[in-house]
Amino acid sequence: MRQIILDTETTGIDPAQGHRIIEIGCVEMMERKLTGRNYHVYVNPEREIEAEAITIHGITNEFLVDKPKFADIADEFFEFIKGAELVIHNAAFDVGFMDSEFGRIKPVRKTADHCGVVDSLAIARAKHPGQKNNLDALCKRYGVDNSNRELHGALLDAEILAEVYLLLTGGQTALSLDAGSENGGLGGGVRRLSSSRPALPVVGATDAELEAHQAFMSAMEKKAGETVWSKLEGLE
């Protein structure tokens, strides 16, 4: 499965009021593993950014003056996401802006016609009802480092969301038991054993070991009374 973890920054909160996308950040995963392929672009929105939005993402009108317009990057962006499952936190927001942008140019494209869409916010709310489930809260809950997230940024947020999403939907993902890895066996993803591997041998205790064990347990019971081990042996 090809998944794209996606985030956008915008001039405001409502595309119906003419607000536009100003940044797109995407991180690609294949079979729940990061591939290293990302897509990131700043976009000239051809309108002013609301002051309140600037306080959130820090992107200014002056910074975007020489950036490409959405029409200039629409085809390459579409080709990057086409056919993938998009993982988005509060998907309705980002997809609404994407559909609004794609609706301004020919051919008109609708995101859901070409991509699957998964809302990680809906997953988090179902798993943690009644709790805060924004990205910062999830980072704290799952121990994901978001110390670099002083302001919202599409690519950084997509990278953070990728890690949160894997933990949210599948548990631990980052620990590797590969002692030969560069960071001492603490990275590189989960290593899964092949289903065709040889069966592990079962090594039983020898008669001498069993006799020594029984002698030890008898000595324990003389001092402390019946042991838990004895109770368990009686259940066999």
| Active site amino acids | 152
Which tokens hold the place of 225? 């009374």
Distances (CA, A) of 143 to 134, 155, 156, 177: 14, 20, 16, 20
**Is residue 70 within 8 Å of residue 105, measured between CB atoms?**
yes
β-sheet with 2-10: strand ranges across: 33-42, 21-30, 2-10, 85-88, 116-119
How wide is the angle at C-alpha 217 spanned by C-alphas 222 and 231, nearest 5°? 95
Q: Specify the amino acid at residue 73.
A: I
